[in-house]
Chain A
């Protein structure tokens, strides 16, 4: 972990707020609902014996969009890449808006990772089953 002065003093802005914090998990939630509702409606209307293939493609497409969204959010937060202003670590003990921004950016970025894992988890069943039964 670097405590290099140049890095610590690099201004990263103050923009990350609580809305940004919930962006990634919200993408997970929307992905989850779209997959579940889409599959439920399809299976209810098409009958239990029907092949699941359309659902598989639908889930694949939704998952691709969700992962793309999470990737974009991740990249925007990656640009901050700010260790703590005061400690050069991930403890974020400083008392400035800049430090709060770095802290929230770090947490939001980690939530992107968690949400991506969640998205992949949720997508898996659609690839493992063959019918609506």
Chain B
């Protein structure tokens, strides 16, 4: 690496020598590690690539399981798979496709291409992306591997109790803990991507100029924060029932299996749109390129994506139409399920109108895009049919629903994704996929898919139920099933052609030229093959399609005439801008390769895996190890003091290198994470009031345990701990460091006493969580809150230590800003918990 320079080099971009020096420094700073250290890379181009490959590997594994299902169902009374093996096969097929492919591939693709779309060098938290990836890999292998030990979950991908609470073996535990662990990766990705879209857009990219993919990622990131946490809450309750016999879902002891269905589908239905929207977002990038015109109705796409995102949260009960809920409840959800067709339809119409108004060029991505639209419209229409409750009563749990959901997922997710992979392949690898193989694979897949799933509508209407391992002949299902099985293999053949196209050795002639599709959006400014630094210089954006609108754009880019065209100090840097109008506000130093993220993910994975086998001591040791690793990571890698206060990033912009509070990326990450956490907490609170709704008398027998006294004490102490933390932030900012440290000593003491008081209530009133759902849910709230406060104590002590060693000062105070924000959420959590457990028994 050349010696770090402090003088400004970007004043003379016309000089090729100056530019060569800049490129050398950028190459050195952003170099991908060599040898085994390659795996310590955290840059989005490496992590994104691993992520995509891993997700596709899990997809192919689940695809093979799907083929096994079709072999078994090809003929009546088939003996190919036993009932138990079949149950494991279809459960793991659905689970892996949903949790290990459909959701992670969104995160994977977004991590890969979002920085390019935003002209950024990287996302703001590269190590977090890497951490999420390793979590995903470990959890995925654990869940998938179980089938080789005949230990896979076998209760269906939605794990309904009481079947799955009563099932022996560790299958259900693998599902619960393995997937909870993977949800960590999803939420990590959501944090990364939301902050990425809001704060890492290039200067000048106002919200109305943001690529539509960015809008979709923002909306889907927000949806993840409200959709995944209820499932985490559900997993928490479910695992407490399986491991410790707390009867949340056991009707004999006051529980209710429907509570799981609610928590699962509050996650499960938005999840369908979490899968669908980012894939359709790829179409929103592809369609204008090949229509050779800007998208017609940009604001309509934003409006309908936003509308779909919201409405999708009002659909979950349509999975529960046959559970005996009152008709009026079914009506609300049927109405919302019909309403969501409006914004979904708008998006399709915008694509069609863009194509009609443009001059369409043929290409493999367009082929997949058109196939996607055709399949998705069919799936959407059957969706409108099953949204009508009486129709759903007839086809519920039949192959009609299997056909419907595969049409929506293939049309709404897989085909758009394959279009996107063909389209963005050059950005990932610098090579093109073959046009000939692409056309072959498309037609094989398109035909195979329809041969497989179109007959299933009829199979379902003829009454064939889902999830049966075999069926008797002569019911009119025989030949339909055989056709479906043949179609499945035709589809698989097409997919193999695609896989071969991706992995085959590429020749010189496969090398991509610059902007191979002649697109107008900013990601195609990249050199081919792409450089490790991402963007040579971070552009100033003035329109939605700069490559079409500004003939000088590429020249200015190549000559580094925008922002950050150098790495004078030898640090990895990108620009942070304001949320609405993308004014530069900070030059952010992002972290480089690290082993610690892998260690942290490994430790956390170990703790979940040990818990599956109920090895509690090992679980505790691994959890402490994970915490230690994360603290080491934070201590050594975050909130570092820059060598100077401000930096000239070019084009006359002088921005700070360090900011704290609501303008900083760290504060936003904490805010977003805690929003998700709060949603999970509200999921547990929902459990409490759900039980109140379904019971004649709740708490049972009119008990007022745990009483109001201990919860009151706990509430006061925990609010005091919150006030101390908040106060510490304020006085530290005013330069009174001594007082801040004092408050950071008082805070943990009050918090620890608060935990003790919180536990004392149910403890001394003798509430036994295995006896009834009431004590169980009270203990669940206490446990949830206590664990969160304990984490809050670690944070307070962390800030104290940072202050004592001089890492945290009145100027460099981002640690305490973020910890105080955490404690704002803790204050709310503590308040709700104490009011519910201590107050509600007196008013109900």
A21 to chain B: closest residue by CB: B306
Task: Contacts A18-B580, A29-B310 given; indicate if A96 touches B328 (C-beta within 8 A).
Answer: no
Point out the residues of chain B lying under 8 angstroms from A65, CB to CB: none
The answer to whether A55 and B339 touch (CB under 8 A), given A25-B306, A100-B581, is: no
* Chain A neighbourhood of B303, CB < 8 A: 107, 110-111, 114
Return chain A residues, CB-CB under 8 Å to B302. Answer: 107
- From B300, B313, B334, B579, contact of A18 by CB (8 A): B579
Cα A115 to Cα B207 in complex, Å, equals 22
B181 to chain A, nearest CB (A): 30
- Total cross-chain contacts (CB, 8 A): 134
Please state if A111 and B327 are interface contacts (CB–CB under 8 Å): no
Tell me which residues from 29 to 43 in chain A have a Cβ below 8 Å from any Cβ of chain B: 29, 32, 35-36, 39-41, 43
Interchain CB contact under 8 A, B541 and A95 = yes
Provide the residues of chain A in CB contact with B542, threshold 8 Å: 95
Query: Which residue, of B302, B334, B335, B579, has the highest number of chain A Cβ atoms within 10 A?
Result: B335
Number of A residues with CB within 8 Å of any CB on chain B: 49
Q: Judging by beta carbons under 8 Å apart, are B326 and A100 in contact?
A: no
Q: Is B234 an interface residue (CB 8 A)?
A: no
Judge if A79 is at the interface, Cβ distance under 8 Å: no
A45 to B336 alpha-carbon distance, docked (Å): 25
Contact B307 A93 (CB under 8 A): no
Give A40 to B690 CA distance when docked, in angstroms.
10
In Å, the complex CA distance between A121 and B335 comes to 5
For residue A36, which residues in chain B have a CB less than 8 angstroms away from its CB?
Answer: 329, 332-333
Closest chain A residue to B581, Cβ basis: A97
The interface bits of chain A over 100-118 (1 if a CB of B lies within 8 angstroms of the residue's CB, else 0) are 1001101100110011011
Is A1 at the interface (CB under 8 A from chain B)?
A: no
CA distance A106 to B331 in the complex (A): 31
- Find out whether the CB atom of B208 lies under 8 angstroms from the CB atom of A122: no
Q: Is A7 an interface residue (CB 8 A)?
A: no
A26, closest chain B residue (CB): B310
B311 beta carbon closer than 8 Å to chain A: yes
Which of A40, A41, A95, A97 makes the CB contact (< 8 A) with B543? A95
Q: Is the CB of B328 within 8 A of A111?
A: no
Cross-chain contact A25 with B326 (CB below 8 angstroms):
no
Contact B206 A100 (CB under 8 A): yes
Q: How far is the CA of A32 from the CA of B542 in the complex (A)?
A: 40
Which of B306, B328, B543 neighbours the largest number of chain A CB atoms within 10 Å of its CB?
A: B328
Query: How far is B310's CA from A26's CA once the two chains are assembled, in angstroms?
Result: 8
Q: Which of A41, A93, A124 contacts B335 (CB 8 A)?
A: A124
Q: Which residue of A lies closest to B226 (CB)?
A: A29
Question: CA of A38 to CA of B180 in the docked complex: distance in angstroms?
Answer: 31
- Interface positions, chain B 425-472, Cβ under 8 Å from A, are none
Contact with A along B277-311 (1 / 0, CB 8 A): 00000000000000000100011101110110111
On whether the beta carbons of A99 and B208 are closer than 8 Å, the reply is yes
Q: Which residue of chain B has its CB nearest to the CB of A56? A: B328
**Interchain CB contact (< 8 A) of A17 among B327, B342, B343, B580:** B580
Asked whether A107 lies within 8 Å of B299 as measured between CB atoms, the reply is yes
Give the residues from 673 to 700 in chain B that come closer than 8 angstroms, CB to CB, to chain A.
693-694
**Other-chain contact of A96, B206, B331, B334 (Cβ < 8 Å):** B206
Contact assessment for B206 and A122 in the assembled complex, using a CB-CB cutoff below 8 Å:
no
Q: How does the 8 Å CB contact mask read for B173-205 relative to A, with 1 for contact and 0 for none? A: 000000000000000000000000000000010
Q: Are A121 and B206 in contact (CB under 8 A)?
A: no
A39→B328 contact, CB < 8 A? yes
Q: B331: which of A22, A25, A125 is its contact (CB, 8 Å)?
A: A125
What chain B residues lie within 8 Å of A103 (beta carbons)?
Answer: 206-208, 299
**Bound CA span A43–B694, Å:** 10
Q: Are B209 and A122 in contact (CB under 8 A)?
A: no
* Cα separation A39 to B325 with both chains bound (whole Å): 11
**How far is A46 from B544 in the complex, measured between Cα atoms in Å?**
57
Q: Is the CB of A133 within 8 A of B331?
A: no
Within 8 A of B (CB), among A69-100: 90-97, 99-100
B694: chain A residues within 8 A (beta carbon): 44
Give chain B nearest CB distance to A131 CB in angstroms.
8
Determine whether the beta carbon of A95 is less than 8 Å from that of B328.
no
B-side contacts of A22, CB under 8 Å: 306, 310
Residues 310-344 of B, flagged 1 when their CB comes within 8 A of A and 0 if not, give 11011000000000011111111111101100110
List the A side residues contacting B336 at CB < 8 Å. 32, 118, 121-122
Contacts of A133 in B (CB 8 A): 326-327
Contact A126 B339 (CB under 8 A): no
Q: Which residue of the partner chain B has the closest CB to A106?
A: B299
Chain B nearest CB from A105 CB (Å) reads 10
B339 touching A100 by the CB < 8 A rule?
no
Closest Cβ neighbor of B218 among chain A residues: A18
A129 at the interface (CB under 8 A from B): yes
Cα separation A91 to B303 with both chains bound (whole Å): 13
B693 touches A125 (CB 8 A): no
Cα A100 to Cα B210 with chains together (Å): 10
Cα-based distance from A87 to B779 in the complex (angstroms): 61
A132 x B693 contact (CB < 8 A): no
Interface contact B328-A41, CB-CB below 8 Å: no
Q: Give B200 Cβ to nearest chain A Cβ, in Å.
A: 16
Q: Is A67 an interface residue (CB 8 A)?
A: no
For window 325-372 of chain B, which residues contact chain A by CB distance below 8 Å?
Answer: 325-336, 338-339, 342-343
The smallest C-beta distance from A59 to any residue of chain B, in angstroms, reads 9
Is A100 a contact of B207 with CB atoms below 8 Å? yes
B334 contacts across to A, CB distance below 8 A: 125
- Taking the nearest CB of chain B, how far is it from the CB of A26, in angstroms? 8
Residues from chain A with Cβ under 8 Å of B300 in the complex: 110
- With A29-B313, A45-B693 given, name 14 new contacts (CB 8 A): A17-B579, A25-B310, A29-B314, A39-B328, A44-B694, A92-B208, A94-B208, A97-B580, A103-B208, A118-B311, A122-B314, A125-B331, A125-B334, A133-B327
Give the top 8 A-B pairs by smallest Cβ distance, nearest first: A125-B331, A103-B208, A25-B310, A100-B206, A121-B335, A43-B326, A121-B339, A92-B208
Q: What are some 5 contacts across the A-B interface (CB < 8 A)?
A: A22-B310, A55-B328, A97-B206, A97-B581, A132-B328
